Amino acid sequence: MKTGARLALYGLGLVAAFGGAFVIAGAVVPGSVVAGWTEGTEMNGHDEGHDSGSTASDGAATTATALKGLALEIDGFVLSPVQAPATVGAPGELSFQIQDAAGTPVTEYTTAHDRKLHLIVARSDGSLFRHVHPSLDEATGTWSLPWEWAAAGTYRVFADFTTAGSAAQPLTLTRTVQVAGEFAPVVPQPSQVDQVDGFDVSIEGDLVAGSPSELTITVARDGEPLTTLEPYLGAFGHLVALREGDLAFLHVHAEGDEPEAGETAGPEIVFAAEAPTAGRYLMYLDFQVDGQVHTAEFVLDAGHGEGAAHADANTDADTDTGSHSDGH
């Protein structure tokens, strides 16, 4: 098993949940670096040159403004209305465009992690997660793929891509799609173990809001540690996280030198992560074995950390000051 590739954050694009950094295959990331990963951590982002000397209150403000997956327009780029089947079980096509400020469909993109665009779809309760890669019709700028809804509900569609040109930037845009039918919402419960397609996948570690945390994911098959994890989208593991409540989007992926042909890893995948706020996070790990991609799901709760407590104290102090000012 070769683990020589340098691995770090891949911009979990869903910056919504963690403001954090993720590392794979046991790579070590200093805490000072993790502290700077509250910005630019969208799915295709590469964090470089961040100032690690900011205060806790500055970090809280930065995290609040850096959350991804909550807007359909950023910097003049717009996710068009999503066309898709309207009811459960009706086969059809899901399609959309990325448009510029003039309403012109965008046809040129920068390939990031083997794809020009990554599409994430999940129901508002975090269930029925899908990570797929539609095809682009360069003549019309329309992205599309065959689609059928398995259940009714409100769905969030995330388009994660990097623009083209010298000013290329990674963006995550989102829209809501309503699917008619009887809706039975799922209430996510904390879970650190998942069984999928004959694999046993577990996650260890605690999420602490405002502080770096180490998470270790272990993959086994038939009771034996798995050491044949294959590269998927240029890395050995691919993690997406959604914050329960608003589905703020954080897409984590290993960054650095891509694995060489035939290289494998496992059974552990180690991430350094930082949740921007306390709360519940829905996590989805894509991993590839024998040419097949599998998705394991976890639910972790992030507790209040010292950084978050300090930020809260500052907020309280500001509030108190404001109330005193009102009295003058």
Render pLDDT for 267-283 as a digit per residue (tens, 0 to 9): 998 777 777 788 999 99
Please tell me the distance from the alpha carbon of residue 173 to that of residue 250, in angstroms, as a whole number.
12
Provide mean pLDDT across the span 161-181: 95
What single letter denotes the amino acid at residue 264?
Answer: T
- Of 71-85, 158-172, 215-229, 243-257, the least confident: 243-257
- Nearest by Cα to 61 from 310, 250, 326, 280: 310
Q: Is the pLDDT of residue 319 over 60?
A: no
| CA distances (Å), origin 232, targets 235, 236, 286 | 5, 6, 8
Q: Is the pLDDT of residue 94 over 90?
A: yes
Position of tokens 């459960």?
88
pLDDT for res 102: 96
Domain extent, residue 302, equals 31-66+189-310
What is the distance of C-alpha 309 from the center of its chain? 25
Q: Is the pLDDT of residue 67 over 80?
A: no
The percent of residues above 70 in pLDDT, for the chain, comes to 70
What average pLDDT is seen over the chain? 77
CATH at residue 116: 2.60.40.10
The percent of residues above 90 in pLDDT, for the chain, comes to 53
Instruction: Determine which helix (DSSP H) or strand (DSSP E) holds 34, and give its type and residue range.
Output: helix 31-35
pLDDT for res 257: 61
> pLDDT higher for 48 or 80?
80
The reply to whether 57 and 78 lie within a common domain is no
Q: Is the pLDDT of residue 14 over 90?
A: no
Q: Binning pLDDT at 50, 70 and 90, where does residue 254 land?
A: low
Q: Is the pLDDT of residue 249 over 60?
A: yes
Q: How many other β-carbons are positioned within 10 Å of the β-carbon of residue 173?
A: 23
Q: Is the pLDDT of residue 298 over 60?
A: yes
**Dihedral pair phi/psi, residue 56, rounded to 5°:** -60, -40
The reply to whether 136 and 269 lie within a common domain is no
The reply to whether 197 and 298 lie within a common domain is yes
SS3 300: strand
Q: Within a domain: residue 126?
A: yes
> pLDDT higher for 293 or 234?
293
SS3 312: helix
Please tell me the distance from the alpha carbon of residue 235 to that of residue 215, in angstroms, as a whole number.
17
The reply to whether 57 and 98 lie within a common domain is no
Strand partners, 218: 202, 268
Beta-sheet strands, E only, within 80-116? 92-99
Query: Last residue of a domain, which of 149, 179, 209?
Result: 179
Please tell me the distance from the alpha carbon of residue 126 to that of residue 71, in angstroms, as a whole number.
18
Q: Within a domain: residue 277?
A: yes
Instruction: Determine which helix (DSSP H) or strand (DSSP E) holds 326, and give its type and residue range.
Output: helix 306-326
The reply to whether 224 and 91 lie within a common domain is no
Using H for helix, E for strand and C for coil, what is the string for 231-286? CECCECCEEEEEECCCCCEEEEECECCCCCCCCCECCEEEEEECECCCEEEEEEEE
The reply to whether 80 and 54 lie within a common domain is no
DSSP state of 112: B
**Contact assessment for residue 251 and residue 14, using Cβ atoms and an 8 Å cutoff:** yes
Provide mean pLDDT across the span 48-75: 57
The reply to whether 284 and 203 lie within a common domain is yes
CATH at residue 210: 2.60.40.1220
Q: Is the pLDDT of residue 11 over 60?
A: no
Prior bond to 267 cis, omega within 30? yes
pLDDT for res 80: 98
- Looking at the whole model, is its pTM more than 0.85? no
The reply to whether 120 and 219 lie within a common domain is no
The reply to whether 52 and 199 lie within a common domain is yes
Q: Within a domain: residue 19?
A: no
Provide mean pLDDT across the span 312-326: 44
| Parallel/antiparallel/unpaired status of strands 292-304 and 207-209 | parallel
Highest mean pLDDT among 26-30, 134-138, 182-186, 231-235: 134-138
Position of tokens 């030198």?
257
Q: Domain total for the chain?
A: 2
Q: Within a domain: residue 13?
A: no
The reply to whether 52 and 81 lie within a common domain is no
Q: Within a domain: residue 85?
A: yes
Which tens digits make up the pLDDT trace of 124-158?
A: 999 999 999 999 999 999 999 999 999 999 999 99
The reply to whether 158 and 229 lie within a common domain is no
Q: Within a domain: residue 25?
A: no
The reply to whether 84 and 224 lie within a common domain is no
Q: Is the pLDDT of residue 315 over 60?
A: no
- Of 93-102, 179-188, 205-214, the least confident: 205-214
Query: Last residue of a domain, which of 131, 156, 179?
Result: 179
Q: Within a domain: residue 236?
A: yes
What single letter denotes the amino acid at residue 193?
Answer: V
Q: Within a domain: residue 90?
A: yes
Angle between helices 306-326 and 56-66 (to 10 degrees): 90
pLDDT for res 255: 44
Provide mean pLDDT across the span 213-232: 92
